[in-house]
Amino acid sequence: MKFFVDTADTAEIRDLAETGLLDGVTTNPSLIHKAGRNFLEVVEEIAGIVPGPVSAEVVALDHAGMMREAEILRRIADNIAVKVPLTIDGLKTCKALTADGTMVNVTLCFTANQALLAAKAGATFISPFVGRHDDIGFDGMQIISEIRQIYDNYDFRTEILVASVRHPIHVLEAAKIGADVMTAPPAVIRQLFNHPLTERGLETFLADWQKTGQTIG
């Protein structure tokens, strides 16, 4: 499963990229607002940090407006994935862009039927929001299972990009189901490293090493 980080914080992206685990980045208007920086500048910087897909979202709601904004975004770098909403106009834009060789991430997906439409429109990625679904009393991971089954039934090439990931269990369940990608905030990715037995074991090793009186180098 590919790991994307969901942030516009370039310092966090650089640090995680150094682990070799990072395959791409997703951004959205809320994350850009939180970063407090110029949208195009920060997207260009991110695209230079990671070689994998960098999702940059349009804000227009109509097809013509989306296409105008997409043209600006895809000029930034070859690894830009234009992010569009799962609306009729968004899927029109998706169809036009992917036909022209541009990666497209269709976002704000909440049903398997919506994911089916996105795949038929040629989406590179579909982003079902599991955490937001959990928030209103539904099982977000059930949607991932349904999408996986549908895509496998018809051999769709669209990659399932699990979004709105809130905790490590979401990552685990997505991997077990067979999602292609997950995107999570930096804090959630860092939680994947943590286990009390790992920490305890390291403390024991270091304590025993000090008792040897030796150094390396």
pLDDT tens string, the chain, 217 residues long: the values are: 999 999 999 999 999 999 999 999 999 988 998 889 999 999 999 999 999 999 999 999 999 999 999 999 999 999 999 999 999 999 999 999 999 999 999 999 999 999 999 999 999 999 999 999 999 999 999 999 999 999 999 999 999 999 999 999 999 999 999 999 999 999 999 999 999 999 999 999 999 999 999 999 8
The domain of 106 spans 2-212
Rounded CA gap, 89 and 67, in Å? 10
> Token pair for residue 188?
């959630």
pTM of the model: 0.95
Number of domains comprising the chain: 1
Helix (H, G, I), strand (E, B), or coil: what is residue 154?
Answer: helix
Residue 212 confidence (pLDDT): 94
- Is there a domain that residue 173 lies in? yes
- Is there a domain that residue 217 lies in? no
- Is there a domain that residue 82 lies in? yes
The CATH code of the domain that includes 19 is 3.20.20.70
Residue 217 confidence (pLDDT): 84
So which residues are the catalytic ones? 83
Rounded CA gap, 194 and 190, in Å? 7
DSSP per-residue codes, the chain: -EEEEE---HHHHHHHHTTT---EEE--HHHHHHHTS-HHHHHHHHHHH-SS-EEEE----SHHHHHHHHHHHHTT-TTEEEEEESSHHHHHHHHHHHHTT-EEEEEEE-SHHHHHHHHHTT-SEEEEBHHHHHHTTS-HHHHHHHHHHHHHHHT---EEEEBS--SHHHHHHHHHHT-SEEEE-HHHHHHTT--HHHHHHHHHHHHHHHHHT----
- Is there a domain that residue 76 lies in? yes
